[in-house]
Amino acid sequence: MEDMSTTANAIVAFSQSEKIKAGLIWLSSASGMIDNLPGPEKQGAERFFKTMVGMVHQEVMMAKRVTGYEEWDRVSGYMERAMVMIESGVASQSVDHLTMALSQVTNIGQKAMSYLKEKKLLGGN
């Protein structure tokens, strides 16, 4: 990750990472349920799931625009691959990509948290 060049960028990266992690955890949990639904219910669930993935993806894109951190591009790529799985009718297979996105977001958040702790702007031991 680029140097946490400003405190403001680190704060945005940290707060966005926490919000995005929550969304990715929820999406990962929900992805396995969709494939087992019958026809019309599955179609509706896929549309809803796709919308939710899109909403979390928008948060990733916003974090990238605000912070400029290239790591968000990697998260975006994983989310785009997850969307391909959903559009292909195999939402449960999106979980691998969502998990990779979660791992990357966790790394971003950890680096931001470390920077903020180093600057004595975030408590903790």
What three-state secondary structure class fits 17?
A: helix
Instruction: For residues 72-101, give the mean pLDDT.
Output: 94
Helices (H), 68-94: 71-87
Whether 31 and 49 have beta carbons less than 8 Å apart is answered as yes
User: Is the pLDDT assigned to residue 70 strictly greater than 50?
Assistant: yes
pLDDT in tens, 7-63: 999 999 999 999 999 999 999 988 888 878 898 998 899 899 999 999 999 999 999
Instruction: For residues 61-79, give the mean pLDDT.
Output: 95
Whether 81 and 59 have beta carbons less than 8 Å apart is answered as no
